Structure 1
Amino acid sequence: MPPTIILVRHAQALHNVDRDYTIHDPPLSELGRNQCLHLRANLAPKIPSELDVELILVSPMKRTIETALLAFPQLIERGIPIVAHAGWQENSSQPCDIGSSLTTLPAEFPQVDFSQVDPVFPNKRGNAYANSRPAIVARGQSVLKDLYGRKEKVIIVVSHSGFLRVGVTGKWFYNGDYRVFEFEQGGTKLREFDMTKGKGGLGLSFEEEVELGDGLPEEEE
């Protein structure tokens, strides 16, 4: 049976505070760190009674990694692996959405397994991570197919609002909010659980839905 998927948007990072997208790979803000505690308090009681998590996947960005470490320490202490995956990084090629070097990240975050990160990371030019509608929609399909084939019962993925919305689900995610999904037949579409449908698990996200690829450039920027 395909896994249940908990999709989480990272908590507020420094570039979200004043919309300063020139900050390279920004860490969480103070508010963001508090949002992680709110997320933990809301979601932890459901694990493992309702959601028996066996894997945490993270975009290899500081803000997503920090969100996972702060929000899910009880899972990490239980030995649940936390694995970085380049397929879940954000869309744009602005500095805030360009990752740090794979030569430095493992030392900064020793709890995370970076061994499976695509070695082209953090390059996003002329490859599968380019900021274009065809590339982002294709990447969304690729990561879903990857999840569909996994054996874990429940997987948490900590990613980014843009990619989660226009690449994967068509749903909005507020900073630190989450939604829970199961796969529809075929492994390329998700069906949201009633427990998070509408405004998300924390009740903070927009209810409107968009089409995959909405607003993205047709050619790489």
Structure 2
Amino acid sequence: MSPEYFDAHLTQLGWQQVDNLRKHVHESGLINKIDLVITSPLQRTIQTAVGVFGGGGYTDRMDILPLMVANAGYSDRAAISSLNCPPILAVELCREHLGVHPCDKRRSISEYQCLFPAVDFSMIESDEDTLWKADVRETKEELAARGMNFINWLFTRKEKEIAIVTHSGFLFHTMSALGNDCHPLVKKEISGHYSNCELRSMVIMDRGMVGSDSPTTNYPGKIPLGPDTPSEVVDGKNQENDTTD
């Protein structure tokens, strides 16, 4: 409840955990598969997103914006480049439990844009934090409903491989509301609490959309062009001719 934890930044231990996860993401080849990184617009998650998925070191000679300026959030870290990394998009829907706790209130977007110039904040409508209330804590049911709205929004994205950098509380309540028709062991696995900087990979499918995407492995056939009438069509024409005759 202390005001000094307002929009808490990563500790030195947190940055060590980020460095370990970054190493895993690169060594496993996952960094080459990610189309988009979505982050909660709180300082600790933005730092995690740029630290894990961002480019290398940044210098003023580069003709690009940095993902993070040097020492952002009292991190004592060098600036991070946006070169050769997936786009990073901040989204309000995947924020931590809202209200009362100062650590879960965000700064103004204009402040963030100075600290994280290449992060995309265009989806956030209000510069100031209008969601966090000092005297009202979001209920677990409200948080789960917000999480399901976030999942539904994810299905509107064209990207297929998306890394989501968010909070343990948000994930726990969202995943607990998801997959109620799964096997109990699967349900238990997806809804367990997350550790700091833990990464889990899962495929989320909307059964109503199954078969709506065009398979990428289809091949048109009939190359080169030429007659290729299906046999049942030919048989049908022969029958029609026999009847006419």
Deviation at 1:21, TM superposition (A): 7.5
- Where 1:174 maps in the other structure, the secondary structure is coil
Aligned residue pairs, count: 166
In structure 2, what is the equivalent of residue 63 of structure 1? 44
| Mapped pair 1:86 → 2:77 | no
Aligned to 1:136: 143
* Alpha carbons 1:124, 1:130 under 8 Å: kept: no
Q: Deviations over 1:70-98 (max 9, x none)?
A: 11124942142101000111004210001
1:116 aligns to 2:123 (yes or no): yes
Q: Once the two structures are aligned, what percentage of the paired residues are identical?
A: 29
Q: Which residue of 2 aligns with 1:172?
A: 193
TM score, norm. by length of structure 2: 0.61
Distance 1:186 1:137 in 2: 21
Quote how far apart the aligned CAs of 1:171 are. Answer: 2.5
> For the structure 1 residues 92 and 22, does the alpha-carbon distance in structure 2 shift closer, same or farther, using more than 3 Å as the test?
farther
The structure richer in helix per residue is 2
Following superposition, the deviation at residue 164 of structure 1 comes to 0.6
What is the DSSP-based 3-state SS (H/G/I as helix, E as strand, rest coil) of the residue aligned with 2:26? helix
The aligned counterpart of 2:169 is: 162
Of Structure 1 and Structure 2, the greater strand share is in 1
- Greater CA drift, 154-163 or 103-112: 103-112
From 181, 184, 203, the equivalent of 1:182 is 203
Task: Name the residue aligned to 1:31.
Answer: 13
Taking only aligned residues, the RMSD between alpha carbons, in angstroms, comes to 2.6
In structure 1, runs of 5+ residues without a counterpart are 1-18, 188-221
Residue deviations 1:19-38, cap 9 Å, x none?
96851001100010110010
Q: 1:40-55 alignment to 2 at 5 Å?
A: 40-48=22-30, 52-55=33-36
Higher relative contact order (CA 8 A, sep 6+): 1
Question: Which 4+ stretches in 1 moved above 4 angstroms?
Answer: 19-22
- Please give the alpha-carbon distance, in whole angstroms, between the structure 2 residues aligned to 1:102 and 1:33: 23
Among 102, 118, 127, the residue aligned to 1:95: 102
TM-score in terms of structure 1 length = 0.67
Structure 1 121/46 Cα, relative in aligned 2: closer, same or farther at 3 Å?
A: farther
Measured after TM superposition, the shift of residue 186 of structure 1 is 4.0
Most deviating of 178-187 and 136-145: 178-187
Tell me the secondary structure at the aligned position of residue 165 of structure 2: strand
